[in-house]
């Protein structure tokens, strides 16, 4: 059996539900933001969505970064989570300006991520 097959599925480190919940929503948010970004580029009003599109990229990147910081239990994870929450809130606000389904799903995911990141930042 390969070493990878015997590795735990969630984490190599001692499980920490406080981190894991936030890691999971940050990872999900990054994915949804990347997908929404791609879909916004295909919309006929893509030029009107420039602020939203730029914020989607920022949000996806900070969410990925936050997940990485938490995964390695960085002493700076709370700072990154605080910044992540702020950017997620901004992204939710931008996406809420558009009525298509992908933006609505993205806005809701960003709100969930912001809530979880705020909780992490306050620990």
Please check whether residue 116 lies inside any domain of the structure: yes
Span 57-109, pLDDT tens digits: 999 999 999 999 999 999 999 999 999 999 999 999 999 999 999 999 999 99
Please check whether residue 8 lies inside any domain of the structure: no
User: What are the backbone angles phi and psi of residue 10, rounded to the nearest 5°?
Assistant: -100, -40
Please check whether residue 9 lies inside any domain of the structure: no
Please tell me whether residue 28 adopts helix, strand or coil conformation: helix
Please check whether residue 53 lies inside any domain of the structure: yes
Burial class (CB in 10 A: 0-12, 13-18, 19+), 50: exposed
Report the pLDDT value the prediction gives residue 23, as an integer from 0 to 100: 96
How many folded domains does the chain comprise? 1
Give the chain's mean pLDDT. 90
**Which domain range does residue 75 map to?**
17-121
Q: Spell out a b/e string for 9-20, using b for 16 or more CB atoms within 10 Å of the CB, else e.
A: eeeeeeeeeebe
Distance of alpha carbon 98 from alpha carbon 19, whole angstroms = 32
Please check whether residue 62 lies inside any domain of the structure: yes
At which residue do the structure tokens 């992490």 appear? Answer: 120
């Amino acid at each position: 059996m390969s070493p990878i097959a015997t590795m735990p599925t969630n984490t190599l480190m001692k499980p920490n539900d406080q981190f894991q919940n936030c890691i999971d929503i940050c990872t999900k948010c990054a994915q949804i933001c990347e997908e929404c970004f791609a879909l916004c580029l295909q919309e006929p009003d893509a030029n009107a969505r420039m602020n939203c599109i730029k914020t989607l990229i920022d949000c996806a990147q900070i969410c990925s970064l936050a997940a990485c910081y938490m995964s390695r239990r960085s002493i700076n994870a709370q700072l990154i989570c605080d910044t992540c929450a702020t950017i997620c809130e901004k992204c939710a606000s931008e996406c809420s300006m558009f009525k298509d389904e992908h933006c609505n799903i993205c806005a809701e995911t960003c709100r969930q991520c912001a809530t979880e990141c705020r909780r992490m930042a306050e620990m």
